[in-house]
Amino acid sequence: MRYFPAFHDLSTRPSLVVGGGEAAARKLRLLLKAGARPVVVAPRVGAEIAALAQAGSLTWHARAFAPADIAGCTLVIAATGLAEVDAAVSAAAQAAGLPVNVVDRPELSSFITPAIIDRDPLVIGISSGADAPILARQLRARLESLLPANLGRLARFAGAFRGAVAAQIGDGVQRRRFWERFFAGPVADKVLAGDEVGAREAMLGLINGRAVRQRDEGSVAIVGAGPGDPDLMTFKALRRLQEADVVLYDKLVGPEIVDYARRDALRVYVGKSKADHAMSQDAINALMAEHALAGRRVVRLKGGDPFIFGRGGEELDYLQRRGIAVEVVPGVTAAAGCAAAAGIPLTLRGTALAVTFITGHARDGEPDLDWASLAAGKQTLAVYMGVSTAGTVARRLIEHGLAAGTPVAVIENGTRPEQRVVTGRLEELDSRLRDAGISGPALIIIGEVARQALEADLAAELERAAAV
């Protein structure tokens, strides 16, 4: 490590900032967040610093820097952008043995400021040793998305109970186990969800040993993993996945998503595509309950949203009937994901005033749908599981009055790297699907919303034909 990470208490002595422009203002924002008492030396300052001085948040000396300014300071920042002045500030601070940072001049700095994730009192600093600050910022953005906003609250909550836990659990190993369980358990969840009163009560129960059973109680989270692109998972889905002891996942959930689970979590493929019944619904229900009743945290991971053609409702009902703690985490459903990825809106002002999600799944050869209402105009139909019955669906809609020339778009493997979009007209839906050899999970969009995509494809086709 070229730079040693350390966290400074800036509240006791002043921090000196030389410079009054935007760079200085940026540093001052950071310093003030950390409870510093900044002193600014600059002949002129911008509006933000002037306002902070006026409000008494910092002291401003309206003059040029003098080496004596560093006396009594805890750290020094030079942000004038003037090479000579910045060098003089650096020399004076280094001669006095004070940590100094010169903005954008690592060679004149004895410390650098990291990219910061602030969940006070929990703070994470990321440094690339001044080599790649943008990389550090990107990492920060990724970590920000992984860390619940209430993490600081959780740290403070735990801090308030440290003494009580130490008094109750003398053994160090036992105490560590207690905290490990606490941070991964339901009491911490309560704090993160903002229920501090409930959390306090549960925590007292835990400490006093009265709620040992609760600590060991399992739970199930029925989690929507989105349509395929892992970036479309919600923060909550990711968290539940990382906390899980057991993950039961469907065919539509790719390995890049399942891999977010802890390495030691048990992963069970339960299949359940049309032709691949790795496990029946009854067996899946029983397995979820078995693990939860054994005290494990189960994640039932499903493609898209669990409550849209996902049988999430049945699973919820099954678990609730058995008194098992269960939570549903929504996901981006295939219609929303595919539409966005293909650039096809689902509603369109004046043209498509409603969107209907329908299943093309058929028990007896034909989906049991109200064709007349589906064929009524000014709406978009998003057909799930509709590849094998597409011909029937198209025929029925046309019979009930929907124009044979209505645009359609089929999105196969939407949001995934192998996504394909095939467009056409309703009357040719089946042949377009067959000609394109659509085999992956595919969503069919029927309606005027697909016209632009269809026309763009037709124009591209004409262009290709003309070129030949």
Interface ranges with ligand SAM (CB under 6 A): 227-228, 252, 302-305, 308-310, 333-334, 338, 384-385, 411, 413-416, 441-443
End-to-end C-alpha distance for the chain, whole angstroms: 61
Q: What's the chain's Rg over C-alpha atoms?
A: 30
| 3-state percent helix, strand, coil for the chain, nearest multiple of 5 | 45, 20, 35
> For residue 60, what are the β-bridge partners?
40
Question: Is-contact 41 61, C-beta < 8 A?
Answer: yes
- Active-site pick, 69, 189, 245, 272: 272
Per DSSP, the residues of 40-55 read EE-SS--HHHHHHHHT
Of 4, 28, 8, the C-alpha closest to 129 is: 4
Of the two residues 86 and 412, which places its CB atom closer to ligand SAM in the complex?
A: 412
How far, in Å, CA of 189 to CA of 187, rounded? 5
- Active-site pick, 250, 302, 305, 430: 250
Least separation in angstroms between residue 441's CB and ligand SAM is 4
Least separation in angstroms between residue 256's CB and ligand SAM is 13
Of the two residues 136 and 225, which places its CB atom closer to ligand SAM in the complex?
A: 225
Question: Does 264 qualify as catalytic in the annotation?
Answer: no
Least separation in angstroms between residue 309's CB and ligand SAM is 4
Sheet with 15-18, strands from edge to edge, namely 59-61, 38-41, 15-18, 75-78, 100-102
Question: Does 250 qualify as catalytic in the annotation?
Answer: yes
Of the two residues 20 and 310, which places its CB atom closer to ligand SAM in the complex?
A: 310
Of the two residues 218 and 227, which places its CB atom closer to ligand SAM in the complex?
A: 227
Residue recorded with tokens 């000396």: 61
Report the b/e string of 412-434 with b at 16+ CB within 10 A: bbbbbeebbbbbbbbbebbebbe
Of the two residues 27 and 240, which places its CB atom closer to ligand SAM in the complex?
A: 240
Residue nearest to ligand SAM (CB): 304
Least separation in angstroms between residue 456's CB and ligand SAM is 20
Least separation in angstroms between residue 381's CB and ligand SAM is 12
Alpha helices by DSSP H, 217-311? 235-243, 255-258, 281-293
The set of catalytic residues is 250, 272
